Amino acid sequence: MQTPQGTPSLRPPGKRPDDSGSSGSAERISRTVMVVMSAALFGVLAILVYGVLVYVPKLEGQVGAGEMQHEESLAAGTVSAPPVKRESATADTEDGSHDQHEMSSREILKKLLALNSRLASDNIQVWGQGSYSSIVALIGEGDGHLRKSEFRDAEERYVKAYEKLQQLDADRNEILVSAVQAGMAALEQGDSVEAQKHFSMALAVDAADQEAKDGLQRTQNLETVRTSLARGKEFEEQGELEAALLEYRKGYELDGTFQPLAIAYERLTEQVKEQKVRDHLSHFYLYLDSSDIPGAEASLADALRLSPTDPAVLAAKKKLESAREDLVVLRLRQQAQSQMSNEQWHKALTSYQQVLKIAPQAAFALQGVAVARRNSELVVQIDTLLKSAERLQDERVQQNGRATLEYARRLEGLGPRTTAKINDLDEVLTRASQPIVLILQSDNLTEVTLYHVGRLGRFYQRRLVLRPGKYTIIGERTGYRVKRSIIELTHEQPEVEYSIRCEEVF
């Protein structure tokens, strides 16, 4: 950003005019301040020259070594100036009075010149303004009286000038604060010329003051910020909101505290955000209607990123969650139906149960669970009976099998594989009910027992009609080993002969 034209160079406070090594680009102030500074400098130089040419030679014989050492300390800024003691008003005609006023006037002049020199290096010509001009005028009046040897009047003028100069030095911080405040006020009014004048004044007091630096930078950016504001309004009126927001942002990044621009930027930022949220929600519902869950998720994510607490966005989030559940339920329902068609009763039962975890009141799932559980349990019962057909010789087992068969015959929609199992059970039960003849032969000495039938006693031959299955026969005789045998009766042999005798002696 270019520094405005017409501002003379300022040196940092504390740097003497004749100091070497100063570098960097100089800041500028207004032409009015230039005129004041030039006049003040001319006055200071006149005083310095006058003091050097006229008074210093006279003082060399009058000031003691201790006093000279004190003055050098004052000039170096290491000792504060002692309070000025005014002499009581007496006529110059009294003995010693004339010489005393002459010495006092020259002494206060030296102090005045030392203080003025120090403040001149701190740019008092700029920030002292009217007060400093009055001080220069007082010094001029004192010089006039001094030339006329009116030492008492000269002393009075110099004392007043010295006191005012001390007061002005003490007021520097107030001047700084006042200049910064005036600059800020001018900025708020959009008056860049006035703002620059005040901030330049503040920096003349303290070149390191950050608030004044920031204010001056804002002043230098003001025209660019105004241009961004104007262009943004033009784009906004044309309905080009994105272009308008871009212009507002350019200015806002330069000066986010300029109220007209900050208000416009924040307002349009919110407006554009709301528009984007509406667009994302429109896309969200289009995707949702077409069951495109990934597309709906992406649009909702964009809306949530812009406005996570917007009620419309939160409502869309709930709809997406519901749609996800509906999709899962639909997939599980289709899966369960396929499993039912394939007679995978247990798997279908699991699928329907998963549906009920998501939608406990889903009627199709409640009905599906009942049918799938019934068919699954039926198949388990049939498989158990078929795997242990030999147990059908037990009357209770056979009755249970017939009850299961009768129940299965009443069911519909069981499918071909389950129906085949039912037919297998029917056949097994039919065969289990057909009797087989068992002819037992013995020696009429052996006690015979047939498990599941009873004690048969001694005999030579015994004819029994039994159901198919495995039977245990035990022969017992005193003094002989017990004989134990297992025979299996099947329909492959409708009549079976078997001999049982105890023949092995202990």
Span 243-267, pLDDT tens digits: 999 988 888 888 877 788 889 989 9
Instruction: Identify the helix (H) or strand (E) that includes residue 504.
Output: none
Q: What is the pLDDT of residues 92-106, one digit of tens each?
A: 444 457 788 889 888
Strands 436-441 and 495-499: parallel
Q: 126 or 267: which carries more pLDDT confidence?
A: 267
- Give me the amino acid identity at 112: L
Q: Scanning the structure block, which residue is given the tokens 């860049």?
A: 192
| Nearest residue to 386 (alpha-carbon basis) of 362, 367, 405 | 405
Q: What is the pLDDT of residues 296-311, one digit of tens each?
A: 999 999 999 989 999 9
pLDDT over threshold 70, residue 496: yes
How is the beta sheet containing 469-476 ordered, strand by strand? 454-457, 447-450, 469-476, 483-489
For residue 376, give every residue at least 6 positions away whose Cβ sits within 8 Å of its Cβ, in sequence order, or none: 345, 346, 349
Mean pLDDT value across residues 19-35: 37
Mean pLDDT value across residues 367-390: 90
DSSP for residue 391: G
Alpha carbon distance 167, 84 (integer Å) = 14
pLDDT over threshold 90, residue 474: yes
| Nearest residue to 152 (alpha-carbon basis) of 231, 90, 236, 196 | 90
Lowest-confidence region among 31-45, 273-287, 384-398: 31-45
Calculate what percentage of the chain has a pLDDT beyond 70.
81
Mean pLDDT value across residues 69-92: 37
- State the pLDDT at residue 93: 45
Instruction: Identify the helix (H) or strand (E) that includes residue 115.
Output: helix 97-120
DSSP for residue 392: G
- State the pLDDT at residue 96: 57
- State the pLDDT at residue 64: 33
Instruction: Identify the helix (H) or strand (E) that includes residue 339.
Output: helix 311-341
Query: Which burial class, exposed, middle or buried, applies to 339 when counting CB atoms under 10 A from its CB (0-12, 13-18, 19+)?
Result: buried
Task: For residue 292, give both structure tokens.
Answer: 């495109």
Q: 156 or 21: which carries more pLDDT confidence?
A: 156
- State the pLDDT at residue 501: 95
pLDDT over threshold 60, residue 66: no
Q: What is the pLDDT of residues 144-168, one digit of tens each?
A: 998 998 999 999 999 999 998 988 8
DSSP for residue 240: -
pLDDT over threshold 90, residue 121: no
Q: 32 or 241: which carries more pLDDT confidence?
A: 241
- State the pLDDT at residue 253: 84
Calculate what percentage of the chain has a pLDDT beyond 90.
34
Lowest-confidence region among 12-21, 82-91, 197-206, 422-431: 82-91
- Identify the bridge partners of residue 438 per DSSP, sorted by sequence position: 464, 496
- Residue 179 pLDDT level (bands cut at 50, 70, 90): confident
Lowest-confidence region among 43-52, 111-120, 324-333, 352-361: 43-52
Q: What is the pLDDT of residues 451-466, one digit of tens each?
A: 888 999 999 999 999 8
- Residue 81 pLDDT level (bands cut at 50, 70, 90): very low
pLDDT over threshold 50, residue 86: no
Q: 222 or 435: which carries more pLDDT confidence?
A: 435
Q: Is the pTM of this model over 0.85?
A: no
User: Could you count the other beta carbons within 10 Å of the beta carbon of residue 279?
Assistant: 13
The answer to whether 393 touches 472, Cβ cutoff 8 Å, is: no
- State the pLDDT at residue 492: 77
pLDDT over threshold 70, residue 15: no
- State the pLDDT at residue 338: 95
Mean pLDDT of the chain: 79
Q: 477 or 261: which carries more pLDDT confidence?
A: 477
Q: Torsion over CA of 411, 415, 420 and 423, rounded to 10 degrees?
A: 20
Backbone angles phi, psi at 480, to 5 degrees: -125, 155
The answer to whether 457 touches 447, Cβ cutoff 8 Å, is: yes
* Residue 21: strand, helix, or coil: coil
- State the pLDDT at residue 277: 93
Dihedral sign, CA of 223, 224, 227, 232? negative
The answer to whether 154 touches 105, Cβ cutoff 8 Å, is: yes
- State the pLDDT at residue 215: 84
